[in-house]
Amino acid sequence: MSAPARVRGPWWLLAGGLVLLVTSAVAMLLLAASQLDGYDWAEEAMVEDDGRPHVVRVDRDRNVLLWSYAADAEPSCTVRDAATAEVLPSSRPDDALVREGGSAADWEATAVFTPRSDQVEVVCDPTGAQPFSLVAVESAPRLPPLLSRLGPWSVVPLSVAAAGVASVLAAGVVALRTRRRAGHRAVET
């Protein structure tokens, strides 16, 4: 019984890279389709603009953003440390951060603050919207604004695409090296 024939050349790298690129494209399309009805906020991160205090758990090691729905009037909110009742200063975010909001409008980051503990108390004055407006409280994304628009899962298909590009480039390098070797062998004989 003879040994199976070994696949030579860069074809397996090229095929693998192309499979990775197609997979990443499909994954990115599925990710984008999952956001068509808007970003999926955690229920406990949503605060009504009812003038009452709402306690929200946050990551104390990152800045926290207040997100307002662009179709509604932007509520005026006060953020306090839940443990000390100290008012936390807030400002406008440097970047124009946006989360998908569905067909009517998007969510926009309207304020950023630094928490001092893992719980904050958020009070938003009523805007007059019926029945009420919502503000989302979420830690600032670690991703650049373009990637954070789709959420943290956008890194997965982009990483797969990078691996696919690397594989296709490696196939090109292997093909060039194989040709050069074949050219040198032809010259030697």
Between 10-19, 68-77, 118-127, 174-183, the lowest mean confidence (pLDDT) is in 174-183
| Confidence class for position 5, pLDDT limits 50, 70, 90 | low
Distance CA 30, CA 59 (A): 29
Q: How far apart are the C-alpha atoms of 44 and 142, rounded to whole Å? A: 21
> Torsion over CA of 68, 71, 73 and 75, rounded to 10 degrees?
-10
Burial label, 122 (beta-carbon count in 10 A; 0-12, 13-18, 19+)? buried
CB 65 within 8 Å of CB 95:
no
Closest CA to 74 of 105, 103, 41, 102: 105
Beta pairing partners, 47: 135
Distance CA 65, CA 109 (A): 6
DSSP string over 77-142: EEEEETTT-PBPPEE--SS--EE---SS--EEEEEEE--SSSEEEEEE-----SS--EEEEEEPPS
- At 62, list the tokens: 């990152």
Could you say which of 2.40.50, 2.60.40, 2.60.120, 1.20.5 is the CATH number of the domain covering 43-145? 2.60.120
Domain locations along the chain = 11-35+153-188, 43-145
Which two tokens mark 169?
A: 């480039």
Q: pLDDT tens digits, residue range 19-78? A: 988 988 888 887 767 655 556 678 888 999 889 999 999 988 889 999 988 877 788 899
CA-to-CA distance for 91 and 138, rounded, in angstroms?
A: 15
- Give the pLDDT confidence of 124-174 residue by residue, as tens digits: 988 766 667 889 998 887 766 666 666 666 777 888 888 889 888 888 888
